[in-house]
Amino acid sequence: MDYGSLVTTARSCRRFDAARPIPLSILVWLVDLARIAPCGANRQALRYVVCNDRSRNDRVFGALRWAAYLTDWDGPAVHERPAGYVSILAPREGGAGVRVDLGIAAQTIMLGAAAQGLGCCMIGAFDRAVVEEALEVPQDYEVQLVLAIGHPAERRVLAPLGEDESIRYWRDAQGVHHVPKRSLGDVLVGRFGDSNE
């Protein structure tokens, strides 16, 4: 898959095939990708916890908040839950640049998951105490993001912004998940130099 297709494919996935497990080795491989990704001043401050254990996954799942824009949906049904999680931790003391490193690591993991044919959803809304207890997070770290990972059970497509310019994602009658995106012309506010086309 070329890189443009990979980025297009790596959309947030919120419904998975819970019957299809993910080997722990795949989750570890995703962390290894994040480990070697760039980070500010080469601090390497982030830590990770991977989990494909069903009982711990159930505890983590119960602490997550899913898809705020889909107000009539309570989250994945039991048969749609993720098969694994990668949680990204940062030192409780924080430090400059941790948020940037967090974004780089999370996107690296999401792209890696997409390259394996997996779906991923970065979740920042969760009950931190519950997740940290379920995953036995060391006391000097706190969970910053939970990445839910599994085999996709939904189709996700990009859509242009409508006339109302709403950025709210939505599902159609067939359950296809639509993600509105601004056009290139809307976001590219400057262009300088020779075209060389």
- Predicted local distance difference test score (pLDDT) of residue 162: 87
Predicted pLDDT of residue 75: 94
Model's pTM, two decimal places? 0.93
- Nearest to residue 107, comparing CAs of 5, 22, 6, 2? 6
| Helix, strand, or coil (residue 129) | helix
pLDDT at 95: 67
Angle at 7 between CA 99 and CA 58, to 5 degrees: 65
160: which strand partners? 181
Domains and CATH numbers, the chain: 3-153 (3.40.109.10), 155-196 (2.20.180.10)
Q: What is the block-wise mean pLDDT of the chain (197 residues), using blocks of 10 residues?
A: 91 96 98 96 95 98 94 94 98 81 97 97 97 97 97 95 92 94 94 84
At a CB cut-off of 8 Å and minimum separation 6, what does 12 contact? 120, 121, 122, 156, 179
In angstroms, the CA 88 to CA 71 distance is 27
| DSSP single-letter state for residue 164 | T
Confidence at residue 105, expressed as pLDDT on a 0 to 100 scale: 98
CB 13 within 8 A of CB 150: yes
Written as one string, the DSSP assignment of 62-127 is: HHB---TT-TT--S--GGG--SEEEEEEEETT--TTHHHHHHHHHHHHHHHHHHTT-EEEEE--B-
